[in-house]
């Protein structure tokens, strides 16, 4: 494999960053997870806008290189990939070992890729089956403490949630996504996913402000609106989700993934989940293949 590091394609064994890089020292950086279908990155403009917004939040508005799309395309081509996972990471770069950053920024920019199956209507899912979801005690960091819409290198919040998930596993119970709540006790999102559920024909999802509003979440809301589905964003309890008629998770890699159970209580997918998954595949097919 070859990765793109600071403007150069290098073998995986040489793809390194400095121990003085602030992304390593402090988690001081931004990233985006993207998915390439047929050689095209799906929803590229939306991902770049969010990446720029995160960099602006971190006080390094010029950190996103103008040729980032070329770097991504070159990395996919160098690895012979048309369908794959793409991660773009941008840190503030190497600086003196002080918490307060200097005003001059020479960012570290890394593009990492790996193979994924073909997507679209002729594709296959990257997941083996519906998600088994477990609620955790780790709370989502509130927006006033760390802006919820900033996708930064600091993912300790999600890591702590996944560690709880690991402790909950046994031979008979294998949850594979943690459901996090805000400090108010209402559901927010998965450790790496957004949550949707259906109640009496209404598609519901937690409101932005306590979660990272994903690009796939945005796409699903657009598709649902185009179909004329009733949509509601709001504050919901665990009981609301456990008692839903159907539920699913979204993220760039999983796309639309039904939820089998929440805290051991069966939920499952359903007709709206299935339709939105099909519509998502059709949009990918139309735009990328």
Q: How far apart are alpha carbons 230 and 202 in whole angstroms?
A: 5
Q: How far apart are alpha carbons 71 and 8 in whole angstroms?
A: 9
pLDDT at 210 over 90: no
Residues 6+ apart with CB under 8 A from 70: none
Q: Which of 37-41, 59-63, 96-100, 195-199 has the lowest mean pLDDT?
A: 96-100
Q: How far apart are alpha carbons 143 and 259 in whole angstroms?
A: 27
pLDDT at 281 over 90: yes
Residue of 199, 271, 258 whose CA lies nearest to 232: 199
The pLDDT tens digits for 123-177 are 999 999 999 999 999 999 999 999 999 999 999 999 999 999 999 999 999 999 9
pTM: 0.96
Domain boundaries, the chain: 2-115, 131-288
Has domain 2-115 been given CATH number 3.30.470.10? yes
**What integer pLDDT is reported at residue 97 of this predicted model?**
85
CATH for 131-288 is 3.20.10.10
State the chain's mean pLDDT as an integer: 97
Pairing of strands 255-262, 265-266: antiparallel
pLDDT at 96 over 90: no
**What integer pLDDT is reported at residue 183 of this predicted model?**
96
Task: Cite the beta strand spans of the chain per DSSP E.
Answer: 2-5, 8-11, 29-37, 40-41, 84-91, 108-115, 131-139, 177-181, 187-190, 194-199, 202-206, 231-234, 246-251, 255-262, 265-266
* Same fold across 2-115 and 131-288: no
């Amino acid at each position: 494999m070859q990765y793109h590091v600071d403007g150069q394609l290098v073998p995986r064994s040489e793809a390194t960053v400095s121990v003085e890089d602030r992304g390593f020292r402090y988690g001081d950086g931004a990233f985006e997870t993207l998915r390439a279908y047929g050689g095209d990155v799906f929803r590229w403009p939306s991902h770049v806008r969010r990446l720029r917004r995160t960099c602006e939040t971190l006080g390094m508005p010029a950190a996103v290189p103008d040729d980032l799309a070329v770097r991504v395309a070159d990395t996919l081509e160098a690895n012979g990939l048309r369908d794959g996972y793409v991660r773009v990471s941008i840190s503030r770069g190497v600086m003196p070992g002080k918490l307060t950053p200097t005003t001059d920024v020479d960012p570290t920019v890394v593009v990492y890729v790996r193979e994924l199956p073909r997507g679209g209507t002729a594709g296959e899912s990257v997941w083996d089956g519906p998600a088994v979801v477990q609620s955790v005690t780790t709370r989502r960091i509130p927006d006033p403490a760390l802006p919820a819409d900033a996708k930064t290198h600091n993912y300790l919040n999600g890591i702590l949630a996944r560690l709880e998930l690991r402790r909950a596993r046994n031979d008979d119970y294998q949850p594979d996504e943690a459901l996090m709540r805000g400090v108010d006790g209402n559901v927010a999102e998965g450790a790496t996913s957004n949550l949707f559920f259906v109640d009496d024909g209404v598609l519901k999802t937690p409101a932005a402000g306590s979660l990272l509003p994903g690009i796939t979440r945005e796409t699903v809301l657009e598709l649902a609106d185009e179909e004329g589905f009733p949509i509601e964003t709001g504050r919901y309890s665990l009981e609301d989700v456990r008692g839903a008629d159907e539920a699913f998770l979204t993220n760039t890699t999983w796309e639309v993934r039904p939820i089998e159970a929440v805290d051991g209580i069966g939920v499952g997918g359903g007709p709206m989940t299935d339709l939105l998954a099909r519509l998502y595949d059709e949009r990918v097919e139309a735009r990328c293949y």
